[in-house]
Homo-oligomer: A and B are copies of this chain.
Amino acid sequence: MKKLINKPEDVVREELEGIAYAHSDLVKVHFDPNFIVRADAPVQGKVAVISGGGSGHEPMHGGFVGMGMLDAACPGAVFTSPTPDQMLEATKAVNGGAGVLHIVKNYTGDIMNFEMAADLARAEGIEVEAVVIDDDVAVKDSLYTAGRRGVGTTVLAEKLCGAAAEQRRSLKEVADVCRKAKELGRSMGMALTSCTVPHVGKPTFDLPEDQMEIGIGIHGEPGRTRLPLKSADEIVEMLMEPIVSDLPYKAGDEVLLFVNGMGGTPLIELYIVYRKAYEIATKHGLKVVRNLIGSYITSLEMAGTSITLLKMDDDFLKLWDAPVKTPGLRWGV
């Protein structure tokens, strides 16, 4: 295992210490339980937006704490949902009296831990709404299964909800923004390599030099299918077609195109992916009016990419363009 770490069991704590040293102007880091809140939390009268999940997806979520995005993030162990007490403490720390939105990615663990935290917070008199993001079109959905995973749309929803909360929209309105993002966002991902969970010490799966995994999530898990390695253009087609055909898009619609790296993919490759994704979107008559290109929701050092399309409207455009000041995403301020 080749990593810039010390002991596997210290990875999350030391990462948080690094964040605390680096971004004390933007965030405060709390240890035991672990959570990150924006430096000026709680903001009185503002809905607080919280997310959380396993570590190993950096900058998500901790890197998105700050003005215009998240009020708090709860990092679990690597690839392991955080615990209810973390979420509860974070919820209490950022509650400014206007209620708290939990943005949850659809994983059994995340759902259950967040639900328990929300119940506990409500028992303490805090108004909590939870919205579950489930945008991964690689996963077949049905009433009898765990449903689709929450992936790329989460990053976009956090930005949009953060902006809506800054405008002092009500908890219901901010939650509506999140539900709309959930409805209008679709993603799919692929891996060129596996990743290595630090305490495991070897790759989660073996992927020969000439093979790739299509339809992966963000936890280093194998994907839906293993296929012979293809060119970037062919790979992008495999990702874009299920996304476009799943969404009720029509020609002329405006979209945000998010090309994400899985952690070990260099930017030069992401632009090659973006090029083809943009051309396919355009071919379908979609107007790409905004984009995000970079490694924002990752699986440790996995090489690979995911693509997210989010349908935009005037409100979403304004919320997207609104100022944001976090370690991982910043503009307008």
Contacts and interface: CB of A to CB of B under 8 A. Distances in A.
Contacts of A43: none
Complex copy number for this chain: 2
A291 interface: yes
Contacts of A58: 266-268, 271
B4 A192 contact: yes
A236 to B, nearest CB: 8
- Determine which residue in A1, A3, A55 has the highest number of CB atoms from chain B within 10 A of its CB, and name it: A3
Contacts of A16: 271
A263 interface: yes
Nearest to A58: B267
A274 interface: yes
Interface of A is mostly: mixed
A4 B232 contact: yes
Given A14-B275, A333-B332, A269 B21 contact: no
A1 to B, nearest CB: 8
Contacts of A55: 268
B303 A18 contact: no
B14 A272 contact: yes
A223 to B, nearest CB: 15
Contacts of A267: 58-59, 63, 263, 295, 298
Interface in A1-21: 1-7, 11, 14-19, 21
Nearest to A2: B192
Contacts of A18: 270-275, 278, 293
Interface in A149-174: none
A301 B303 CA distance: 9
Contact of A2 (B6, B303, B305): B303
Interface in A279-333: 279, 288, 291, 293, 295, 298, 300-301, 303-305, 325, 327, 330-333
Please give me the 3 A-B residue pairs with the lowest Cβ-Cβ distance, nearest first: A18-B271, A18-B275, A58-B267
Given A5-B269, A14-B271, A21-B288, 11 more contacts: A4-B192, A4-B272, A14-B232, A18-B272, A18-B274, A21-B278, A22-B274, A22-B291, A58-B267, A266-B300, A267-B295
23 contacts: A2-B209, A2-B212, A4-B265, A4-B304, A5-B272, A7-B231, A15-B272, A15-B275, A18-B272, A21-B279, A22-B274, A22-B291, A22-B293, A56-B266, A58-B271, A264-B301, A264-B303, A265-B301, A266-B295, A266-B298, A301-B303, A330-B330, A330-B331
